[in-house]
Structure 1
Amino acid sequence: MQSAKVDDTITVSHQIQPDDVRRIREAGFVAIINNRPDGEAADQPAGAEIARAAAEEGLAYAEIPVGRDGIGPDQIAGFARVLGEASGPVFAFCRTGTRSINLWALTQAGERDPDTILQLASGAGYDLSPMRPVLERLTEGAGQ
Structure 2
Amino acid sequence: MTITPIDSRLSVSDQPDEAAIAAMPGRGFALLINNRPDGEEPGQPGSAAEAAATEAAGLSYLHLPVEGPTITREDIARFREAVETASGPVLAHCRSGTRSLTLWALSEVLAGRLRRDELAAYGRERGFDLAGAVRWLDAHGT
Q: Same fold (TM over 0.5)?
A: yes
SS in 1 for 2:6: strand
Corresponding residue of 2:113: 112
> How do 1:64-103 and structure 2 match up within 5 A?
64-67=64-67, 70-103=70-103
Q: Does 1:125 align with 2:134?
A: no
Output one character per residue of 1:34-60: Cα deviation in whole Å (capped at 9) or x when no partner: 000001111110211111111111211
User: CA-to-partner distance for each residue in 1:94-140, whole Å, 9 max, x for gaps?
Assistant: 001111010011111225132666554333211326645839x75xx
- What is the one-letter code of the residue matched to 2:113? R
List 4+ stretches of structure 1 deviating above 6 A: none
TM-score by length of 2: 0.83
Question: Which blocks of at least 5 consecutive residues in structure 1 are unaligned?
Answer: 139-144
Q: Residues 64-95 of structure 1, C-alpha deviation per residue, up to 9 Å, x if partnerless? A: 10137521122112101201211221100000
* Distance of 1:10 and 1:31 partners within structure 2: 10
Secondary structure, aligned partner of 1:33: strand
Which residue matches 1:141? none
Question: Given the two structures, how large is their TM-score scaled by the length of structure 1?
Answer: 0.82
Instruction: Tell me the C-alpha RMSD between the 2 structures.
Output: 2.3
Number of aligned positions between the proteins: 137
Q: Partners of 2:29 and 2:119 in 1: how far apart?
A: 21
What is the alpha-carbon distance in structure 2 between the residues aligned to residue 117 and residue 30 of structure 1?
Answer: 27
What does residue 10 of structure 1 align with? Answer: 10
Aligned-residue identity in percent: 36
